[in-house]
Structure 1
Amino acid sequence: MRSKAELESAIAGGGRAVLVINSRSRRGRRLYGTARRLLRESGLEFPHVFPVTDPTRLRELFTDVLALEPDLVVVGGGDGTVAEAVGHLAHRDIALGVLPLGTTNNFARSLELPLDLAGAVTTLAVGRPGAGKVADVDVGWFESTGDPQGEGPGADREHIFANMVSLGLSVEVAGHVPHTLKRFVGRPAYALTAARLLPRHEAFTARVTIDGEVRELATHQLNIANGAHHSGQRIARDASPDDRLLAVYRLGDERRLRLASATARHVLTGQWRSLEEDAFLTTAQVEIETDPPMRVDVDGEIRGRTPVSIKLRGNALRVIVPQAFLDT
């Protein structure tokens, strides 16, 4: 593995670069041409470009990407596309660059990237004025029950996640949010769908084990975050994808109205809250059980059911971030 400085130098010197853009993402189709133009004007050249029209082929596509032995892989799309890239690029001598073209862009927000396309492109142009740097950040790793992608060659990489593991209402929302609504209204589509589903949603009790200590949490929503954002909102002011911590927290308790009020508090006060507050449990490893078993949402994809084991892998991913990003 090269040092971060060596990899940054290789990219700035015109190293091998690959561009992957999900043209099915909310903004990808509309901004594909603009992104190519801005990248070209910034001096970034991509001999190999992979426009994605079928997201189900992303795993196959990244096999072709890795065969090119790139120094930099720039991915344009939403959190699902970026999460797929993270699984393939973690623990490799390759930097990931992100063009935030999705609905919530949680991973891009956690990296403190500009959400406007021009700003994101400027950050990627390493070695040029106003550009970013190569940093290494944490990823998560999980193992759940009945995960259909958890076996065979490359199985370990299929357990890596970028941002969050969730249980509860968000799993139902992810499966029921209308694609057309998400395309036209963006992030509010999730809140509208949650409001529709909440009156019928049943609370559950999760047994959370950290360092041998078991806690029982009754709730409608439980999250285990590696990143700093959920649903486009900051979790806590000191949360970071580079802090060697997983943040475990619930939204409300078993009462439905508490979920609504806790979600509102999360949206309104997340930027001022701290991971040191009682609302959060921080750890590098956690085990979660529920009775009955529940479906597990990993970066927006259903990946088996509980029990689920979640671990942190520190500094496992090279990324391009703004100069102001605190790289530890």
Structure 2
Amino acid sequence: MRSKGELEEAIGAGGRAVLVVNSRSRRGRRLYGTARRLLREAGLEFVHVFPVTEPGRLRELFADVLALRPDLVVVGGGDGTVAEAVGHLAHRDIALGVLPLGTTNNFARSLELPLDLPGAVRTLAVARPGGGKVADVDVGWFASTGDPQDGGAGGDREHIFANMISIGLSVKVAGSVPHTLKRVLGRPAYALTAAALLPRHEAFTARVTIGGETRELMTHQLNVANGAHHSGQRIARDASPDDRLLAVYRLGDERRLRLASATARHVLTGPWRSLDEDAFLTTAHVEIETDPPLRVDVDGEVRGRTPVTIRLRGNALRVIVPQGFDDT
């Protein structure tokens, strides 16, 4: 493995780069041509470009990407597209660059990337004034019950995640939000869908085990975050994908109205609250059981059900970030 500086130097000197753009993402189809033009103007040349019109093919496509032995893989799309890339690029001598073309762009926000296309492209041009740098950040690893991808061709990499594992109402929301509504409204589509589903949602018991100590709680929503954002909102002012911590937190208790008020508080106070507060449990390893067993959402994809084991893998992924990103 090269050092971060060596990899950055190789990329800046015109190293091998590959572009993957999900043209089915919220902005991917509309901005594909503009993105190609801005990348060319920034001096970024690619040995191959993969425009993806069938997101279900992303997994097999990355075998072709890796066969090109790139120094840099630029991925344009939403969190689902980026999450797929993270699983393939973690623990490799390759940097991931992100063009945030999705609805919430949680991973891009956690990396403190500009969300406008010109700003994101400028960050990718590491050799130019205003360009970014190569940093290494954490990823998560999970093992759930009945995971449909368990034992697949990707092996251990199939269990890596980028940003968030969720259990509860958000899993139903993700599977129910109308695609057209999401395309038109963006993030508010999730809130509207959650409001419609909440009156019929049943609370569950979660048993959270950290360091041999088990805590039992009732809630409608439980999250385990590696990144700093959820639903486009900051979790806590000191949360980071580079802090060697998983943040475990619930939204509300068994009362439905508490979920609504806790979600509003999460949105309004996230930029100011700290991971040291009682609302969070921070760890590098957590085990979660629920009664009843529930589906597990991993970066927007249902991956089995509880019980689930979640671990942190520190500094496992190399990414292009702004110069001001605190790389530890």
TM-score range, shorter chain: over 0.9
Structure 1 residue aligned with 2:304: 304
> Structure 1: which amino acid aligns with 2:61?
L
Structure 1 residue aligned with 2:79: 79
Structure 2 residue aligned with 1:121: 121
Work out whether residues 131 and 323 of structure 2, in 8 Å CA contact, stay in contact via their aligned partners in 1.
yes
Verify: 1:224 aligned to 2:198, yes or no.
no
Structure 1 unmatched runs, 5+? none
Q: Distance in 1 between matches of 2:119 and 2:62?
A: 26
Verify: 1:254 aligned to 2:260, yes or no.
no
Q: Distance in 2 between matches of 1:227 and 1:185?
A: 24
User: 1:292 deviation in Å?
Assistant: 1.6
Structure 2 residue aligned with 1:6: 6
Please state whether the residue corresponding to 1:158 is helix, strand or coil. Answer: helix
> Structure 1: which amino acid aligns with 2:209?
T
Structure 2 residue aligned with 1:162: 162
Verify: 1:193 aligned to 2:223, yes or no.
no
Q: Distance in 1 between matches of 2:147 and 2:292?
A: 17
Q: Deviation digits for residues 59-109 of structure 1, max 9, x if unmatched?
A: 110000000000000000000000000000000000000000000000000
User: 1:152 deviation in Å?
Assistant: 3.6
Structure 2 unmatched runs, 5+? none
Structure 2 residue aligned with 1:176: 176
Map 1:88-127 → 2, pairs under 5 A? 88-127=88-127
Q: Deviation digits for residues 232-253 of structure 1, max 9, x if unmatched?
A: 0000000000000000000000
Root-mean-square deviation (CA), in Å?
Answer: 0.5
Work out whether residues 205 and 292 of structure 2, in 8 Å CA contact, stay in contact via their aligned partners in 1.
no
Identity of aligned residues (%): 88
Structure 2 residue aligned with 1:146: 146
User: 1:150 deviation in Å?
Assistant: 1.1
Q: Distance in 2 between matches of 1:177 and 1:134?
A: 36
User: 1:35 deviation in Å?
Assistant: 0.1
User: 1:155 deviation in Å?
Assistant: 1.6
Q: Distance in 2 between matches of 1:321 and 1:7?
A: 14
Question: Which piece of structure 1 moves more, 66-75 or 153-162?
Answer: 153-162
Q: Distance in 1 between matches of 2:54 and 2:138?
A: 28
Please state whether the residue corresponding to 2:325 is helix, strand or coil. Answer: coil
Q: Distance in 1 between matches of 2:266 and 2:290?
A: 24
Q: Deviation digits for residues 28-69 of structure 1, max 9, x if unmatched?
A: 000000000000000000120000000000011000000000
Q: Distance in 2 between matches of 1:154 and 1:266?
A: 35
User: 1:291 deviation in Å?
Assistant: 1.6
Q: Distance in 2 between matches of 1:84 and 1:316?
A: 15
Work out whether residues 134 and 321 of structure 2, in 8 Å CA contact, stay in contact via their aligned partners in 1.
yes
Q: Deviation digits for residues 288-323 of structure 1, max 9, x if unmatched?
A: 001221000000000000000000000000000000
Q: Distance in 2 between matches of 1:292 and 1:166?
A: 15
Structure 2 residue aligned with 1:206: 206
Structure 2 residue aligned with 1:315: 315
TM-score (ref. length: structure 2): 1.00
Q: Distance in 2 between matches of 1:206 and 1:126?
A: 45
Moved over 2 A (4+): none
Please state whether the residue corresponding to 1:82 is helix, strand or coil. Answer: helix
User: 1:326 deviation in Å?
Assistant: 0.2
Please state whether the residue corresponding to 1:240 is helix, strand or coil. Answer: coil
Work out whether residues 152 and 158 of structure 2, in 8 Å CA contact, stay in contact via their aligned partners in 1.
no
Map 1:127-138 → 2, pairs under 5 A? 127-138=127-138
Q: Distance in 2 between matches of 1:40 and 1:239?
A: 34
Q: How many residue pairs align between the two structures?
A: 328
TM-score (ref. length: structure 1): 1.00
